Amino acid sequence: MPADAGGADPVMVLKRFLAKASQTATPYELTGCRRSGGSFPVEITVAPLKAQQDHCYTLILRDITLRKRAEEALLAAEAQDLKTRQLESALKELQQTQLQLVHSEKMSSLGQLVAGVAHEINNPINFIYGNLNYVEEYTRDLMDLVTCYQTEVASPTPAIRAKAKAVDVAYLLKDLPKILTSMQGGAERITEIVKSLRDFSHAGSADLKRVNLHQGLDSTLTILTGRLKARGDRPAIEVIRQYGDLPQVECYPGQLNQVFMNILTNAIDALEEQVAKMGGDAANPQIRLTTTLLADDDQQPAATDRIQIQIADNGIGIPDHVKDRIDGAVFYHESRGQGHRAGYGDQLSNRGRAAPGSTPVPLSPGQRHLLCD
């Protein structure tokens, strides 16, 4: 370096550098030049020679090419590992989004299908149900007319007596009101089922809505009525409702009702397995539904935004190996004779969307909880 370069003497610059380096004992990394013209990394450590005069130093030079290569390889491996983790995370999010989109599309299509079927059933049943009162009234008038004929006409013709005997008028007058009552009950039952189907499907449930959770639970139970009745050696399953005073909840009702359907179906399957093991006489199958408005320690129940839905049964319970996987995004448990049981995660794979803040918590055997924020 020329003496006037940068206005500093190169010798003085080197002396200050050596003095500072010897005091701190900090290795410095520089670039060395080979005679062949190439360069290589060098680590320099400076130490003063106390036995000699001032400004005498020992310089230890190390060729750190291999170390630099190892560091570069390590950094490249770490970068690759980070990139791999990022790709795995992105793939998982993509799969989760894909599952959610597919599920949302299925739920939307299913909701539209169920709502359409319910609508088609609702039109004719309304016609039947609306005319049953007139049929009952007209039938009563005809029965009164027949009774009046029997009273006023003491000696009917042989043809009338033969016809009355053939059709058994006395039995008709006794049984016809019972038939009308049965028809009335059947029409009311179909109307109730149609209403439950429409509530369960919630046409347009792809949007957030404020709904009554008890109505969703009841409509789901109505659809499952056939499975709750006595079947073979299994007695009827008793449903115990312990509903709290809940406000309306903003959620995706169609998807949340599907969660209720899955949990209740699993509970019925567990009860049927329990009855098969214990026998019909020893079993008393029950499903208990409990809803609670949770309150924090410093809040009143009315001020909280957390709801607990507990669905408990006295069946065989959830095995430990199933508990660990039941919250998976795609999980189905196959039980002998019962087909596939859906897990919670297939409906709540993205809890913020399927049911905001909902967390399924498998507890001790026979208990299934759902916490909603």
Q: Are 190 and 296 within one domain?
A: no
Residues in CB range of 351: below 8 A, 6 or more apart: 357, 358, 359
Please say whether the beta carbons of 342 and 262 come within 8 A. Answer: yes
Closest CA to 239 of 254, 225, 251, 250: 225
CA angle 361, 365, 370 (to 5 degrees): 25
**What mean pLDDT comes out for the span 77-85?**
91
115 and 130 in a common domain: yes
**Does 175 map to a domain?**
yes
Ramachandran bin of 41, using left for φ above 0, alpha for ψ from -120 to 50, beta for the remaining angles: beta
CATH of the domain at 258: 3.30.565.10
Residue 337: predicted pLDDT: 47
Give me the residue label for tokens 């320690």.
297
pLDDT in the model for residue 5: 45
Number of folded domains in the chain?
3
pLDDT for 275-302, tens place per residue? 888 765 556 889 999 999 887 655 565 5
Whether the CB-CB separation of 237 and 268 falls below 8 Å is answered with yes
- Exposed (0-12), middle (13-18) or buried (19+): which is 196, by Cβ within 10 Å? buried
Is position 213 within any domain?
A: yes
Looking at the structure, tell me whether residues 111 and 258 fall in a common domain. Answer: no
- Tell me the pLDDT band of 53, cut-offs 50, 70 and 90: low
* 49 confidence band (pLDDT: 50, 70, 90): confident
The answer to whether residue 177 is domain-embedded is yes
Range of the domain at 140: 84-206
Residue 69 in any domain: the answer is: no
pLDDT in tens, 119-170: 788 888 888 888 888 998 999 999 999 889 888 887 888 888 888 889 898 8
Which carries the bigger pLDDT value, residue 344 or residue 104? Answer: 104
Does residue 56 sit in the same domain as residue 200?
A: no
Pair 200, 261 in one domain: no
